[in-house]
A and B are shown apart, each in its own frame.
Chain A
Amino acid sequence: MPARVLNNPLKNPERPYLAIGLEGSANKFGAGVIKHLEDGSTSVLSNVRHTYITPPGEGFQPRDTALHHREWALKVINECLVKANISMHDVDCICFTEGPGMGAPLQSVALIARTLSLLFNKPLIGVNHCVGHIEMGREVTGAHNPVVLYVSGGNTQVIAYSRQCYRIFGETLDIAVGNCLDRFARVIDLSNDPAPGYNIEQEAKKGKRLLSLPYATKGMDVSFSGILTAIEAYTYDKRFRADGLPRNSEDQDIITPADLCFSLQETIYAMLVEITERAMAHIGSKEILIVGGVGCNERLQDMMRIMAEEREGKVFAMDESFCIDNGIMIAQAGLLSFRMGFETPLSKSSTTQRFRTDEVHVSWRA
């Protein structure tokens, strides 16, 4: 088979490049500064984030989230510049999340980005949030050409790179897995601090019963609304004990919130691992990269690792500073496209709630 010689279109820079990235598509506002050096390496100069945490039982609404971002953005941006030991004059471009995400929060961040761009006369770079996750994942883990499982509160996709496009192989047919987790956390009144998914994970460790839940994979796709309905229904089951305790010494056959968390995790993560495995088999890939907030979950990482080992593959995952939405990933993806000559004209710098990962022209890869 003739080998295809792939020339990387992105050459090493002739001088160091700096970019600042601003992220605010959901309830986290993040700002980060990244540096691309002449030897082709990348350095994270700073990565600062503030999360809008709602009381238990409540989700975050667009209006309040936008308000949170407007309150915290300037502080976070300043801290980010101080930590990076640079001034806004030093950056080559200002990157911001163009979409997808929640309308009002996205728009607030874009407004700041535009103002800074005009004030400091710096190019504006609109970035796709999902591509940000992928590029940061590749950079941090060194994964070569993995199947990417992107799982967060707003997205669930299985992605593989092909000819300058991040192709979506499989995705959710209804809600994102993180959304399913967040909503379930509200049903059982779990704290949202630091994140609902994290608290479900801790609670699940105490669970013992595997309750039967609808397992919903359809080929390469998955769906979660059926499972959410089913797991909520268990809270009306007469065996459910909201405090996790039996009523008396005879009360053996009970269902605790921990059992629900355990059952939910085992089922939804098995589904995600299955569709990832399908993509791997289809493409013939041996690498998996997990990105997005739900990717922080250790049980998901473990399950993925077990599957990978059975196929002689490898899992690449990151810690929460990069898994969870952040500004540095926007800076990274933004700077890559800027160095290939991309720029977002001011008049085209509005944001959008819908922005598919495969709509981006990945010019910086062969």
Chain B
Amino acid sequence: MASSSLKLISTATLISQGAEAKVYKANLTSDPSDPPVLLKHRFRKGYRHPTLDASLTRTRVSAEARALLKCLRAGVHVPGVRMVDVSEGVLAIEWIHGQSVRKLLPGGGEEEPEPEPGSVESLEEYGTPVDALMQLIGQEIAKMHLADVIHGDLTTSNMMLRHPSSFDPQRPTTELVLIDFGLSFHSSLVEDKAVDLYVLERAFSSTHPESEPLFASVLKAYEEAMGKDWTPIKRRLDDVRLRGRKRSMVG
């Protein structure tokens, strides 16, 4: 007897398969005017001992759900949580209509063929200049860190801009949404926040050309939003940067 979560998956459309989970687009109800949801299914891994597998899945799904809820309560822009099924490893979250920051920045669409004119989803279409986008990123991450949530996998693929059509045309606005909290955890430690930023810095430099000024804008906005918490984090970030290159191997 399949659980309702698994039944939901069987009618959903598979979008991608990452290392950890399969991601689907689905409808929770049969009403077409209801917005779709994103389903994240942490399926059974055959290589892991079943007990270990079940325990890991449970821990990770609930950690992800909890992180999202904490962010929502703190006013961080993240997808809303629609359904959690810890035993099946299924999480249903708000479907975000928009584009990842990675694809909106130069360098992010490298592996893909040139899009045809007219179908391009560009930053212009979103009405957000690059600098403003960097500020939004810095602000959201600051809000998240102020809530003591560490993302754990900050990359430009894990941030999205909501498409302008999502907003009231009378009051158009822009919203940067942080997604994929699969590796997130709770921490108030300066070390963890610094590492979170460092991961993003590395992601910027390995994906987008001339990323230094971009990331610098992100940090500037982060600094402003963090207030007095910024100084210790900045100091630790400098340490982490040095450490990354010098991690030694002793044979």
Are A26 and B19 within 8 A (Cβ)? no
A210 to B250, CA, bound (A): 31
A266 CB–B CB distance under 8 Å = yes
A1 to B19, CA, bound (A): 25
Partner among B18, B111, B249 whose Cβ is within 8 Å of the Cβ of A356: B249
**Nearest B-chain residue to A305, judged by Cβ:** B47
Partner among B19, B111, B152, B199 whose Cβ is within 8 Å of the Cβ of A281: B19
Cβ < 8 Å to B, chain A residues 201-237: 210, 212, 215, 218-219
Partner among B52, B55, B152, B251 whose Cβ is within 8 Å of the Cβ of A353: B251
Are B19 and A280 within 8 A (Cβ)? yes
A267 CB–B CB distance under 8 Å = yes
A154 to B20, CA, bound (A): 28
Q: Using known A-B contacts A129-B251, A219-B153, determine if residue A210 contacts B19 with beta carbons closer than 8 Å.
A: no
For residue B25, give the distance in angstroms from its CB to the closest CB of chain A. 20
How many chain B residues sit at the interface, stated as a range, is 20 to 34
A274 CB–B CB distance under 8 Å = yes
**Nearest A-chain residue to B153, judged by Cβ:** A219
A306 CB–B CB distance under 8 Å = yes
A254 CB–B CB distance under 8 Å = no
Are B19 and A278 within 8 A (Cβ)? yes
Give the residues in chain B near A274, CB-CB below 8 Å.
19
Which of B19, B46, B199 is packed against the most chain A CB atoms within 10 Å? Answer: B19
A354 to B251, CA, bound (A): 8
For residue A168, give the distance in angstroms from its CB to the closest CB of chain B. 9
Count residues on chain A whose CB falls below 8 Å from chain B CBs: 41
B4 CB–A CB distance under 8 Å = no
A354 to B19, CA, bound (A): 31
Are B48 and A270 within 8 A (Cβ)? yes
For residue A35, give the distance in angstroms from its CB to the closest CB of chain B. 27
Give the residues in chain A near B49, CB-CB below 8 Å.
210, 266, 270
B56 CB–A CB distance under 8 Å = yes
Give the residues in chain A near B248, CB-CB below 8 Å.
100, 353-354, 356
Q: Using known A-B contacts A210-B52, A219-B199, A281-B18, determine if residue A306 contacts B249 with beta carbons closer than 8 Å.
A: no
Chain A positions 300 through 331: 1 when the CB is less than 8 Å from some CB of chain B, otherwise 0: 00111011011000000000000000000000
Q: Which residues of B contact A (CB under 8 A)?
A: 17-20, 45-49, 51-52, 55-56, 111, 113, 152-153, 183, 199, 247-251
Q: Which residues of A contact B (CB under 8 A)?
A: 1, 25-26, 99-102, 106, 129-130, 154-155, 157, 171, 210, 212, 215, 218-219, 266-267, 270, 273-274, 277-278, 280-282, 302-304, 306-307, 309-310, 353-357
> 8 tightest A-B contacts by CB?
A101-B251, A354-B248, A281-B19, A303-B47, A100-B251, A154-B251, A306-B47, A25-B251
Q: A219-B183, A303-B47 are in contact. List 14 more A-B contacts (CB 8 A).
A: A1-B111, A171-B247, A210-B51, A218-B152, A270-B45, A270-B48, A270-B52, A281-B18, A282-B19, A310-B45, A353-B248, A353-B250, A354-B250, A356-B247
